[in-house]
Structure 1
Amino acid sequence: MKKVEAFIRSDKLNELVTKLNSMGLKELNILEAKNFNQDLIDLADSDLKIKFTPMMRIEFVINYTEVDKYVEAIKNTVQTGESGDGKIYVSDIENSVKISTGEEGLKAIA
């Protein structure tokens, strides 16, 4: 299993969730996030005020065989070509347990 985490522009959230749902994704977590990018700061500015870019964090766990299609869908849906489009991270998940039923592994994420 793999966990996909995507940090995206807030205004792309509805479009992305609709796309992922149309691909068969049944469950995902959405959290508000703030992005800090040092490249956008003028360190010589004596009145330095750090600005955070509002983002949304989308995360879900899928079968490892589906990673490429979901990563491509995220890129194609949210990419504007501008700085600040976000990032996607993919990591390994050893196990998943659905607490209400006790199901584990792929059954727990189905």
Structure 2
Amino acid sequence: MKPGFIVSFVTALTLMIFVPTGANALGVGKTCGGFFGQPCDEGLFCQSQPGTCGRYDLTGICATKPRFCPQITGPKLVVCGCNGQTFFNDCARQMAGVSLAHKGKCE
């Protein structure tokens, strides 16, 4: 066997073991994210603690994405998502699958 083939084979095997796939997705209320980025099931998103955006090794909890949101808004309902986008209410943020940065408009 050629050394290049062995290195390629070991690299591919390592990636298959450590890269998360849909087969290992998690359900509602399960711990997600973290260093290896454990994904949530279809229709869910990994919601981290408010204000903890941008930490690559941060874990969260799998939460359901709402299918429909009320079109109600106001200054006290506006929230900022971890993606830097302002949402007109918290339901719209959850529907987009984005964790909460803070209440109020994004800066």
Q: TM-score range by the shorter chain?
A: under 0.3
Bigger Cα Rg: 2
**TM-score, with structure 1 as normaliser:** 0.20
More strand by share: 1
More helix by share: 1
**TM-score, with structure 2 as normaliser:** 0.20
